[in-house]
């Protein structure tokens, strides 16, 4: 009887061959399945990205459409680059990108939720290419450091009238000020920036000044920056002020060495270890600067931080920070004078305040042309563009006299 048992020497090799074939089949299946899965994932990702791009493009069109339909005082680029009803295809993606650039150039809203650290960081950004790839109309940023309402606003309205697009306004007032409690002038309405408390003689004064400069830098069209108070008035019409500031490469920060107790006497090596006594300077708080200097001011992490941390109590940093900063960093581009008249002839911690009875044609003419200075290398008697300190009750006389003396009416007619 035959033996039906398989020969073990033949059985095991066959078993191994079967297992190898199965493994090969399994490997092929896994490779095929993995490739299929990868293809599905990549296809899905591509479709998502395409959808995302289209959504962004549509959002850009929607935003541009809504912004172009509502007027804006700060908009410098007003031509329509595409129709909001155009469909977004690859053929018009170039136009979409141009629209996004237009959106980028629009100045942000004055009111925002950035803290100082975020604000200064954003304001410190500057292009490395000096030429602008678009039509840019340079503006003057008028930065008002106030306690509350601007009582002389009607006079400033006459000054600004007819010159929309050539100026921007920023107001830093006490956080407790309730804007709704006063009738706000149209040109100042909605121009208040996020502010913090400011005390006379304290370091938070320079914090407020830097906050104003940083907010004004967010509008890329702002080229000149002038710091004013609610007690300031213009001494010339807008065209004269604009031309004076735009046609010079100098900055107007008063800088001088004061050996008295209110000058060098305020210096302490322990307070200001990064500043020597020979570098210490004094000057007017009311300054004017160009965009390059404004960026340097908000980017300063050395002298500003030193005063901010070590200047305690009545340290009067507003009279020393920028003059010392200019003396150390940029003495060659500075005029060493202010363009804002302030009368300190009566002595004391505060300047002369002009009341209603003080406002005359003679006074304004003295402030306008009685001083001799240098402008662009030449002598001139137009040295001060603004003046302070004018009391709220001086407004009526200013409105009666100033338009004639400062030629506001002629300035409006010449531009209309």
Question: Tens of pLDDT along the chain (416 residues)?
Answer: 444 444 444 444 444 555 556 556 666 666 666 666 666 555 554 444 444 333 434 434 333 333 333 333 333 323 322 233 333 333 343 444 557 777 777 777 888 888 889 989 999 998 888 888 888 899 999 999 999 889 999 999 999 999 999 999 999 998 888 776 777 788 998 899 998 888 988 998 999 999 999 999 999 999 999 999 999 999 999 999 999 999 999 999 999 999 999 999 999 887 888 899 999 999 999 999 999 999 999 999 899 988 888 888 888 999 999 999 999 999 999 999 999 999 998 888 889 999 999 999 999 999 999 899 999 999 999 999 999 999 999 999 999 998 889 998 777 645 44
Where does 150-210 show beta strands of DSSP type E? 167-172
Where would I find the H helices in 124-247? 153-160, 204-217, 238-246
CB 235 within 8 A of CB 341: yes
Q: What are the angstrom distances between the C-alpha of 62 and each of 57, 84, 204?
A: 9, 7, 41
- Give the 3-state secondary structure of residue 144: strand
pLDDT digits 0-9 by tens, 203-222: 989 999 999 999 999 999 99
Mind giving me the DSSP string for 207-231? HHHHHHHHHHHTSTTEEEEEEEETT
Instruction: Note the pLDDT of residue 211.
Output: 96
What does the block give as tokens for 97?
A: 């990108």
Instruction: Note the pLDDT of residue 342.
Output: 95
Q: What are the angstrom distances between the C-alpha of 136 and each of 75, 125, 168, 223, 286?
A: 10, 18, 14, 10, 27
Spatial CB neighbours of 118, under 8 Å, sequence gap ≥ 6:
none
What does the block give as tokens for 410?
A: 């002629």
CB 195 within 8 A of CB 216: no
Give kind and range of the element (H or E) at residue 386.
Answer: strand 386-388
- Give the 3-state secondary structure of residue 379: strand
CB 141 within 8 A of CB 222: yes
**Strand partners for 172:** 145
Instruction: Note the pLDDT of residue 244.
Output: 98
Q: What are the angstrom distances between the C-alpha of 98 and each of 51, 125, 136?
A: 20, 21, 16
Tell which residue, 302, 303, 251, 256, has the closest CA to residue 281. 256
Instruction: Note the pLDDT of residue 358.
Output: 95
Instruction: Note the pLDDT of residue 64.
Output: 39
Predicted structure pTM score: 0.74
**Strand partners for 380:** 373
Instruction: Note the pLDDT of residue 84.
Output: 33
Tell which residue, 339, 411, 407, has the closest CA to residue 375. 339
Where would I find the H helices in 268-406? 291-299, 303-310, 321-329, 361-369, 395-406
CB 252 within 8 A of CB 285: no
Q: What secondary structure letter does DSSP report for 109?
A: P
Instruction: Note the pLDDT of residue 28.
Output: 61
Instruction: Note the pLDDT of residue 80.
Output: 29
CB atoms within 10 A of CB 193: 20
What does the block give as tokens for 258?
A: 């004061």
Tell which residue, 29, 403, 62, 11, has the closest CA to residue 237. 403
């Amino acid at each position: 009887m035959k033996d039906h048992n398989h020969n073990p020497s033949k059985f095991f090799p066959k078993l191994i061959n079967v297992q190898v074939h199965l493994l090969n089949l399994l490997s092929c299946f896994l490779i095929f399945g993995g490739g299929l899965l990868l293809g599905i994932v990549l296809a899905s990702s591509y479709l998502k990205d395409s959808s995302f791009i289209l959504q962004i493009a549509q959002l850009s069109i929607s935003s541009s459409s809504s912004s172009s339909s509502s007027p804006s005082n700060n908009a410098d680029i007003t031509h329509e680059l595409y129709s909001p009803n155009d469909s977004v295809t690859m053929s018009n993606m170039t136009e979409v990108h141009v629209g996004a650039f237009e959106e980028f150039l629009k100045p942000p809203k004055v009111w925002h939720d950035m803290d100082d650290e975020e604000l200064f960081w954003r304001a410190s950004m500057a292009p490395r290419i000096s030429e602008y790839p678009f039509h840019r109309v340079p503006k003057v940023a008028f930065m008002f450091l106030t306690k509350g309402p601007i009582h002389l606003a009607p006079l400033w309205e006459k000054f600004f009238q007819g010159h929309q697009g050539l100026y921007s306004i920023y107001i830093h007032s006490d956080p407790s000020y309730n804007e709704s409690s006063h009738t706000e002038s149209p040109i100042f309405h909605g121009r208040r920036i996020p502010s913090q408390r400011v005390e006379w003689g304290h370091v938070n004064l320079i914090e407020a000044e830097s906050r104003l400069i940083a907010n004004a830098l967010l509008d890329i069209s702002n080229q000149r920056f002038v710091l004013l108070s609610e007690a300031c008035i213009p001494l010339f019409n807008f065209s004269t002020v604009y031309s004076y500031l735009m046609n010079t490469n100098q900055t107007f920060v008063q800088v001088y060495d004061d050996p008295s107790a209110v000058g060098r006497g305020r210096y302490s090596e322990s307070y200001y270890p990064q500043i020597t006594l020979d570098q210490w300077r004094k000057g007017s708080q009311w300054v004017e600067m160009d965009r390059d200097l404004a960026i340097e001011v908000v980017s300063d992490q050395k002298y500003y931080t030193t005063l901010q941390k070590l200047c305690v109590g009545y340290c009067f940093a507003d009279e020393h920070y920028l003059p010392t900063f200019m003396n150390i960093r940029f003495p060659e581009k500075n005029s060493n004078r202010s363009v804002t008249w302030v009368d300190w002839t009566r002595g004391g911690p505060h300047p002369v305040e002009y009341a209603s009875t003080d406002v005359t044609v003679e006074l304004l003419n003295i402030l306008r042309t009685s001083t001799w200075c240098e402008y662009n290398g030449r002598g001139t008697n137009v040295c001060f563009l603004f003046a302070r300190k004018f009391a709220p009750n001086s407004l009526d006389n200013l409105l009666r006299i100033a338009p004639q003396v400062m030629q506001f009416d002629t300035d409006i007619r010449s531009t209309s």
